[in-house]
């Protein structure tokens, strides 16, 4: 059975994309899980329980006891797999990033994407961002906060951000429709603008709640409009 926590065990195509094992992240920092099928099921339940709790509570307010009770597991089972809550967050981060990158790569290599024009590609990208941030808001928030306190989480976030920027910017550039005088730089800046705006509004929207009344979908449409105008130069 594949080791769920060892970056070297990630399928080769995903390892190449995210370079998650390039600095040995997680190899010594997270305990290697037992190999039995039952133990793998326990690991899965602990991770799912943690993400479920993050839907309504902040990571710093969730205790290990909360997690094991939701997972119908035990404190001993938790510590057999993780050294701390931060170790668990590190694994949740890895799983989230691999899932999102795989989805992005599949999308930009699909026939509908290849046959779409730049405006349609921008809209599809922003819609993906809106749905991803909204559906897993609690986990994204925990990871973002974690980047300020846990070096390993920050290092992985840096790799992920570069990977996403490369995938999206390069996909937009293939359309050859960017009219900005510096198309490559503009595509990358536009990715940063879109990610920053969506993250701020959806992940940390409570600090903007009194500024305007607008749905996530409406906000996404305005981000699409801004990106189209910017890249149209």
> Residue 220's domain is classified under what CATH number?
1.10.357.10
Residue 32 near residue 50, CB atoms below 8 Å: no
Residue 20 near residue 7, CB atoms below 8 Å: yes
Residue 166's domain spans which residues? 7-232
What's the pTM?
Answer: 0.80
> Is 187 inside a domain boundary?
yes
What's the token pair of residue 152? Answer: 């390993």
> Is 16 inside a domain boundary?
yes
For residue range 14-56, what is the model confidence (pLDDT) as tens digits?
333 333 333 333 323 334 444 555 567 889 999 999 999 999 9
Confidence of residue 202 (pLDDT cuts 50, 70, 90): very high
d(CA 180, CA 186): 7
d(CA 205, CA 198): 9
> Is 2 inside a domain boundary?
no
Residue 216 near residue 231, CB atoms below 8 Å: no
> Is 12 inside a domain boundary?
yes
d(CA 225, CA 223): 5
Please name the residue that has the structure tokens 């969730």: 62
For residue range 144-196, what is the model confidence (pLDDT) as tens digits?
999 999 999 999 999 999 999 999 999 999 988 999 999 999 999 999 999 99
> Is 93 inside a domain boundary?
yes
**Number of domains into which the chain is organized:** 1
Confidence of residue 214 (pLDDT cuts 50, 70, 90): confident
Q: What is the mean pLDDT of the chain?
A: 84
> Is 1 inside a domain boundary?
no
Residue 6 near residue 26, CB atoms below 8 Å: yes
Residue 171 near residue 188, CB atoms below 8 Å: no
> Is 226 inside a domain boundary?
yes
The answer to whether residue 221 scores a pLDDT higher than 90 is yes
């Amino acid at each position: 059975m594949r080791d769920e926590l060892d970056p070297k065990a990630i399928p080769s195509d995903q390892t190449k994309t995210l370079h998650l094992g390039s600095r040995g992240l997680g190899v010594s920092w997270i305990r290697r899980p037992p190999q039995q099928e039952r133990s793998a099921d326990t690991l899965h339940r602990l991770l799912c329980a943690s993400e479920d709790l993050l839907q309504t509570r902040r990571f710093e307010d969730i205790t290990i006891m909360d997690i094991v009770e939701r997972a119908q597991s035990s404190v001993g089972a938790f510590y057999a797999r993780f050294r701390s809550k931060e170790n668990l967050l590190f694994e949740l981060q890895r799983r989230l990033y691999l899932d999102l990158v795989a989805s992005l790569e599949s999308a930009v290599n699909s026939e509908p994407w290849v046959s779409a024009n730049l405006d349609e590609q921008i809209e599809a990208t922003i819609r993906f961002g809106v749905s991803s941030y909204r559906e897993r808001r609690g986990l994204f928030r925990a990871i973002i906060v974690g980047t300020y306190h846990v070096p390993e989480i920050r290092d992985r976030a840096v790799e992920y951000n570069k990977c996403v920027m490369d995938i999206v910017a390069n996909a937009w550039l293939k359309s050859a429709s960017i009219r900005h005088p510096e198309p490559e730089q503009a595509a990358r800046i536009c990715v940063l603008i879109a990610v920053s705006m969506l993250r701020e509004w959806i992940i940390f929207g409570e600090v903007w709640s009194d500024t305007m009344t607008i749905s996530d979908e409406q906000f996404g449409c305005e981000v699409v409009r801004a990106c189209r105008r910017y890249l149209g130069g």
